[in-house]
Amino acid sequence: MSATVQINPMLIGQGLPPFDQIQPEQIVPGVEALLAALNADLEQLETTVEPTWSGLVEPLTQIEERLTWSWGIVGHLMGVKNSPELRAAYEAIQSPLVQFANRLGQSQPLYAAYKEMRASHQWDELTAAQQRIVEAAIRDAELSGVGLTGEVKATFNQIQQELAELSTQFSNHVLDATKAFGLQLTTAEEREGLPQSLLAQAAQAAKAAGHDEATATQGPWLITLDAPSYVPFLQHSRRRDLREQVYRAFVTRAAAGELDNQPIIERTLVLRQQMAEILSYDTYAELSIARKMAPSVAAVEQLMEELRSASYETATVELAELTDFARDRGFEADPKQWDVPFWAERMREEQYGLNDEELRPYFPLPQVLDGLFTLAHRLFGVTIAAVDGEAPVWHPDVRYFQVQGESGEAIAHFYLDPYSRPAEKRGGAWMDFCVNRGKIKDQIRLPVAYLVCNQSSPVDGKPSLMNFREVETLFHEFGHGLQHMLTTVDYSGAAGINNVEWDAVELPSQFMENWCYHRETLLQLARHYETGEPLPDELFQKILAARNFMTGSAILRQVSMGWLDIELHHRYQPSGDETIWDVRNRLAETTTILPPLPEDAFLCAFGHIFAGGYAAGYYSYFWAEVLSADAFAAFEEAGLENDTAIAETGRRFRDTVLSLGGSRHPMEVFKSFRGREPSTQALLRHRGLVPAA
């Protein structure tokens, strides 16, 4: 294979991906050659397998990691550098990859060997991490259909195949529909109210679309459905008709014509239910929760109801206050969905004297990174240094960093891809792993993470000036990265986020967001990009006061989406009397204050549950926020201004939540940090729904 490796970078199988060499045309032959080799290795393992760690887990891990390395590169590029050529390659290899994954998951010899391991006398000699890995492998095999035979097995595998294809189509449709819309503004009246930062960005978008003469002052300006354009436009545009046009375009993305995701949703729900029944679960939600921290669907719904009842009345009052505020300023109509962001922004400016645009100059990306890295050092004792140029990257804007331990030794690395590129990069923000920590022949392989955001890019010679939400998002993704990078587990099957139950995986990310409201942290990272002046304390106090502005509405929106996800995967009958929109409207009666527009088809762009890992699991954000709020409360109790106590608590957090990864159950990990089970009180207090003690 050595000659092939020189020709095809997809077959290297270890280390950092050579992004400077990989071309779409190499993917299909590379992955086909890889699958041929891995199939042969798997057959060999099945005939020689021994029910021991070295005779089963280690050789199987090698097979899985070679697959993950190559497939991970393709999946990553689909998110950050999408193109017709890449899509064609991805779709060509998706089917054989799913077939191999099924073959791996349904291997009877490997399953039998795992079960024999668990039943043998050597079980007690394994570490807790090893036992968790074996237990997870047995469960995953059973949920992958290892017990199926004949026609039922063939049907199950066909379902897996089709679901993978539907997920890819769904994601591509959303990207294409987002890219297809553009509102061109040409007059001063059309741009009225828009902040300078948005005008500069919109002129840059117009330039990219072929208007070479576009400038921030003269236009034309192109408004897109990408978050850095869409959100500030709704918040600031004084043209109500244009806000409505943009809002309607946003909530009807991928809901008509060739890009219509509705048939994909219907088919996905049918297939997921069939898959659940084949595996002897009543519903897909029950199948999903079999891999999660929550004990049952009922427990999830109990948490959702607790949050719904705590926020519904608050959200009702918030909308009434917003309506009165707008009326007092001459707005006669009842506020619609495209009015709420606009008037909420005016109300926030007036009540708290806080304006997103006023804050942006204090949050240049380089300065925010310095502050974030200083916090990581203070809490966890790590030092982060830029090592740009030490790793090939997929775009010139991508940065590369090294994480160093107390002695200055490298313990991890990460890429940062910060800016929005709507033509090729999907929206949102995420962390993914590039390389997992592991021990190979007594050598520790260091973890490498991808951190991906979608904030405004540098314009007109200025650095990327972030709004406060973008700062929170960066902290969030960095929290995920910390769990991947600071793990001390040497078995890759339980290192970092591997083998962590999905509804606990948001704990470190949401925990990190809390530090955006900590005075010392914020004043350290917020400095004016031109003068170097720190954020005035008066502005910090305004940020703090405005933290829970419209909090009831924000929680209710998340509850609405989470409950709809559970309902579609637990009670909805695709062939029944209700449509998916009937279900949405029924739930909206108790989970929204403004009922959705008849044409609102946001489900058609709800990638979390139809193209991501959150199917029957969107509630995970709340489940984990209970944990993260309670974890942050430990720092509050220690005293946020007490450096010694904060460092001690931070070290305990690092040695438990960030270090143990998936080597122990999340409740055990949480209790080892907090000394008790979590309580919802900290979450409700942080969200302003119960008075602080």
User: Which residue numbers are catalytic?
Assistant: 477
Residues 142, 148: Cα–Cα separation, whole Å: 9
Contact 81, 20 (CB under 8 A): no
d(CA 102, CA 51): 21
Q: DSSP letters of 209-253? A: TT-TT-BTTTB-EEE-SSHHHHHHHHHH---HHHHHHHHHHHHTT
Of the candidates 243, 258, 251, 435, which has an alpha carbon nearest to the alpha carbon of residue 341? Answer: 243
Tell me the C-alpha distance between 251 and 393, whole Å. 34
CB-facing half-sphere around the CA of 503: CA atoms within 13 A:
24
What DSSP letter does each residue of 513-582 carry, written as one string?
Answer: HGGGG-HHHHHHH-B-TTT-PBPPHHHHHHHHHTTTTTHHHHHHHHHHHHHHHHHHHHT--TTSS--HHH
**How far is residue 42's CA from residue 358's CA, in Å, rounded to a whole number?**
59
Q: Dig out the tokens for 195 from the structure.
A: 């902040």
Beta strand 443-445 with 399-404: parallel, antiparallel or unpaired? Answer: unpaired
Which two structure tokens, joined as six digits, stand for 122?
């050597």
SS3 for 162-184, per residue?
A: HHHHHHHHHHHHHHHHHHHCCEE
Closest CA to 679 of 603, 621, 627: 627
CA distance 528 to 531: 6
